[in-house]
Amino acid sequence: MLSLSATIQNPVQSNRNQFLVKSFQDMSQLHLAIDKCHDITKERLQFSVLEKCKAPIANDVVLCTQQFQNLKTVLHNEFSAKSKSGLFFNPEIGTIFCIGNLSPFFLQEIDGKPLGALGTGVYGIIRGLGINEEDAKQNITELRQGNYLLFISGTANTIENLK
């Protein structure tokens, strides 16, 4: 007699989308990493980026928006004009820009506030993507320090190759 767990295998595991999150200190590193991903695989990857508004402009919405526009300009080949993007204030991190396919998760409103604006919202979304607890905490720390977070979505095999 076969047990249920013995009959269930994971043949689709390699085709399911998974996420990889990488941190970069500056925009040139971020841009180089995206280019390198394209060199490594021909699979169509999806990218999202989180960026914290840098001090001393963190309290100036106009200057933060200009900083965000700079990111969009540099990464214009990856993100079309139709790409979802926005900004929100997270009390634990500061003002954060998001762009890419994950933006709707961070910007989804709950009781009139973006999910990413809730104290543990960014952490919860990262964990929900399947990122382990230790790495998710490290990602939050790096974002808080002003690093860019690059989210890469692709098949399990491709993500493994990119690591």
Helix (H, G, I), strand (E, B) or coil at 27: helix
Domains of the chain: 38-162 (3.30.70)
Q: How far apart are CA 71 and CA 24, in angstroms?
A: 13
Which pLDDT score is estimated for 131? 94
Within the chain, strands assigned E span 17-24, 46-52, 85-90, 94-100, 109-110, 113-114, 148-155
Which pLDDT score is estimated for 135? 95
Q: How far apart are CA 83 and CA 52, in angstroms?
A: 19
Q: How far apart are CA 27 and CA 31, in angstroms?
A: 6
The gap from C-alpha 152 to its chain's centroid, in whole angstroms, comes to 7
For the entire predicted model, the pTM comes to 0.82
Which pLDDT score is estimated for 1? 35
pLDDT in tens, the chain (163 residues): 333 333 323 333 445 688 999 999 998 899 899 988 888 888 888 899 999 987 666 667 778 888 888 888 777 777 766 778 888 999 999 899 999 989 999 999 999 999 999 989 999 999 999 999 999 999 999 999 999 999 999 888 888 877 7
Which pLDDT score is estimated for 74? 76
Which pLDDT score is estimated for 42? 80
Contact indicator for 155, 12 with CB cutoff of 8 Å: no
73 burial type by CB count under 10 A (0-12 exposed, 13-18 middle, 19+ buried): exposed
Which pLDDT score is estimated for 81? 63
Q: How far apart are CA 64 and CA 52, in angstroms?
A: 9
